[in-house]
Amino acid sequence: MAQITLKGNPVETVGTLPAKGSEAPFFCLIRTDLSEAGPADFHGKRMVLNIFPSLDTAVCASSVRKFNQDASSLENTVVLCISADLPFAHKRFCETEGLQNVVPLSVFRSPEFGRDYGVTITSGPLKGLLSRAVVVVNSDGIVIYSEQVPEIVQEPDYANILKVLG
């Protein structure tokens, strides 16, 4: 389990992120049109899994905007924005913000995603939501970067992520 904080208060997750060099766990998440999406849909591309608690928080919304901006310059790369928000909320947010370079995905039918990626929060007021984390998977399905953000209200290390993506 990862020990992180929410505004300085300790919070725990169900496990730890997949390790660098490991095979990324399979997932089946829900798109804004309620269709399913999994690794096969992004075959041959690098995947940036931008995982966060909810679009209805300033930091989560900011991370989706930032990844949308950066994604347009990344070759052979798809950014998946993953939270427990319903697909309808993802759609509304992306349409309102004019975000077209990220793939919004919901875990609302897939609680195993949080367990398999070690990001389900198990204590504190956000219990049941996902922690803020980033996992980068290469085109062969191998984890090449993982970051569990230590403080939920902190943004991920975008510069380091972009450096890994070269």
Which residues are designated catalytic?
60
Cα–Cα distance for residue pair 4/132, rounded to 1 Å: 10
Residue 1 CA: distances (Å) to CA of 52, 72, 108, 116: 17, 34, 22, 12
Residue 131 to residue 42: CA distance in whole angstroms = 23
Q: Where are the alpha helices (DSSP H) in the chain?
A: 58-71, 87-97, 111-116, 158-165
